[in-house]
């Protein structure tokens, strides 16, 4: 059959939609009028509303002038605004004093200025999203750029908008509001960490807290991965929440074998070798695993941008029931540049903590330590052995270091593991909890009290 070239429709990018960008001119005028009518209204919006959010250029200039006056303790009424704009040769650019007077005359009160500021910011973020969308369209045509890099750049552009839209770092809270909120949270038990039943450890840590970064540090073969697998299992089964496991080092099947071992109690080595006697338990365990709220993000070199993207996808699929994210482990995350390694590792740690804060979920971050402890009589680790960066200790909310004496004593009957809490800004306590562990099944158990 001959190919008919006449039937080929050449691809062309979609024509731009002829629509006015999102904006609300009336809301902008009402905000400016409210500022002139009640100068104290600036206190309610100055930390959240930025001048760039105004669609009309003249409105942005007026608001910027009002912020300058407000920051220097001067009124923002009609007289002062007119004088400031005139002194800075900007009065004519905004339409003269009559323009200010018109805005002022149209305003009844400043009572809804908070809601209006939120509306103007929403329109601004929509315009930013449209701008980013156009930039992403251009990225799609950059054939000389590798597709994974295009995806990452596109996601970073969208993330920059969403991150800014939820940024409240500059917000200042008042004592009265904070006291009410604190009372409500205490009354409802929301200031307590969630418990999974590891009572010796939880006596020290207080439990698992939202928005926290917990660094789990140890030298090789101490059981970091097993600890995180077991913690993930307890969160899913005891708290009924889903878990996202980020694995740069092992593939998802290797991780799942460890989770299957925890589920069934069958040695992970026997699972891999498909021992006939254990096969019924394995089949049953796989059935259970398929029903668990268990998600894995597997990537050999996951940047923090990719991790943030995976977290957002996990949340969209599981709703607000994400109990924790586990990243195994820090040193497998690629550095962004060839600069100072300690600085770069600290930067990555801060970015991961920012993900925890943004989504209000705990993140457990595995971390290797140096082997400096092996030259000492007491082989137990301490925070000074964190590999590559002391900033890890500064950034994290909790630092739990693992130690198994049997690694050095060569005693196969010793199943104890020490969980050394070296930092705990969440609950305040420091100390060492001792548990029993079976690494063949990734199982951690309380010692009998």
Residue 306 lies in a domain: yes
Residue 11 lies in a domain: no
Residue 186 lies in a domain: no
Residue 181 lies in a domain: no
Structure tokens at 333: 């995350």
Same domain, 196 and 153: no
If you search the block for the tokens 């002391």, which residue do you land on?
Answer: 390
Residue 131 lies in a domain: yes
Q: For 262-282, how does the pLDDT look when each residue is reduced to its tens digit (9 = 90+)? A: 999 999 999 988 777 888 999
Same domain, 274 and 198: yes
Domain termination residue (choose one: 165, 184, 215) = 165
Distances in Å between the Cα of 392 and the Cα atoms of 26, 214, 305, 326, 401 are: 49, 10, 19, 16, 13
What domain count does the chain have?
A: 2
Domain interval for residue 230: 192-446
Q: How far apart are CA 277 and CA 258, in angstroms?
A: 19
CATH code for position 366: 3.40.50.300
Same domain, 249 and 356: yes
Percentage of the chain surpassing pLDDT 90?
A: 50
Same domain, 278 and 159: no
pLDDT band at 165 (very low <50, low <70, confident <90, very high): low
Structure tokens at 285: 């365990």
Closest CA to 215 of 336, 374, 310, 348: 348
CATH code for position 159: 1.10.860.10
Q: For 323-373, how does the pLDDT look when each residue is reduced to its tens digit (9 = 90+)? A: 999 999 888 888 766 667 777 888 889 889 988 988 889 999 999 887 766
Greater confidence, 304 or 10? 304
Residue 352 lies in a domain: yes
Residue 9 lies in a domain: no
Same domain, 332 and 396: yes
Distances in Å between the Cα of 28 and the Cα atoms of 23, 52, 56, 177 are: 9, 12, 8, 27
Same domain, 139 and 244: no
Residue 32 lies in a domain: yes
Q: How far apart are CA 209 and CA 38, in angstroms?
A: 42
Q: How many CB atoms lie within 10 A of CB 158?
A: 17
């Amino acid at each position: 059959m001959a190919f008919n070239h006449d039937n080929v429709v050449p691809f062309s990018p979609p024509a731009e939609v002829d629509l006015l960008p999102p904006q609300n001119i009336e809301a902008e005028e009402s905000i400016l009028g409210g500022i002139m009518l009640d100068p104290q209204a600036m206190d309610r919006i100055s930390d959240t509303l930025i001048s760039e959010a105004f669609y009309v250029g003249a409105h942005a200039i007026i608001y910027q002038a009002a912020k300058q006056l407000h920051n220097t303790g001067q009124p923002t009424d009609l007289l002062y605004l007119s004088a400031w704009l005139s002194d800075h040769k900007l009065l004519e650019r905004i339409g003269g004093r009559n323009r200010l007077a018109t805005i002022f005359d149209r305003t009844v009160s400043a009572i809804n200025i908070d809601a209006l500021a939120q509306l103007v910011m929403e329109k601004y973020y929509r315009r930013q999203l449209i701008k980013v969308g156009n930039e992403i369209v251009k990225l799609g045509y950059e054939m000389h750029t590798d597709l994974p890099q295009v995806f990452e750049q596109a996601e970073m552009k969208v993330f920059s908008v969403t991150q800014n839209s939820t940024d409240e770092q500059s917000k200042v809270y008042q004592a009265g509001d904070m006291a009410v909120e604190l009372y409500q949270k205490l009354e409802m038990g929301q200031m307590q960490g969630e418990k999974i039943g590891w009572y010796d450890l939880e006596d020290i840590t207080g439990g698992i807290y939202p928005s926290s970064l917990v660094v789990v540090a140890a030298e090789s073969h101490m059981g970091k991965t097993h600890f995180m697998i077991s913690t993930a299992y307890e969160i899913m089964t005891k708290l009924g929440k889903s878990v996202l496991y980020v694995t740069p080092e092992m593939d998802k099947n290797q991780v799942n074998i460890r989770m299957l071992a925890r589920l069934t109690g069958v040695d992970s080595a026997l699972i891999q070798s498909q021992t006939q006697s254990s096969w019924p338990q394995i089949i049953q365990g796989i059935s259970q695993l398929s029903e668990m709220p268990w998600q894995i993000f597997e990537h050999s070199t996951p940047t923090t941008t990719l991790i943030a993207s995976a977290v957002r996808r996990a949340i969209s699929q599981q709703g607000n029931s994400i109990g924790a994210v586990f990243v195994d482990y820090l040193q497998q995350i690629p550095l962004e540049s060839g600069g100072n390694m300690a600085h770069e590792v600290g930067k990555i740690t801060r970015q991961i903590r920012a993900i925890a804060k943004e989504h209000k979920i705990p993140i457990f971050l595995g971390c290797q330590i140096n082997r400096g402890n092996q030259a000492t009589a007491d082989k137990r680790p301490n925070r000074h052995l964190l590999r590559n960066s002391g900033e890890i200790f500064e950034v994290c909310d909790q630092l739990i270091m693992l130690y198994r004496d049997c690694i050095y004593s060569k005693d196969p009957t010793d199943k104890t593991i020490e969980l050394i809490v070296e930092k705990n800004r969440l609950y305040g306590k420091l100390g060492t909890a001792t548990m029993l562990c079976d690494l063949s099944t990734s199982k951690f158990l309380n010692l009998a009290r």
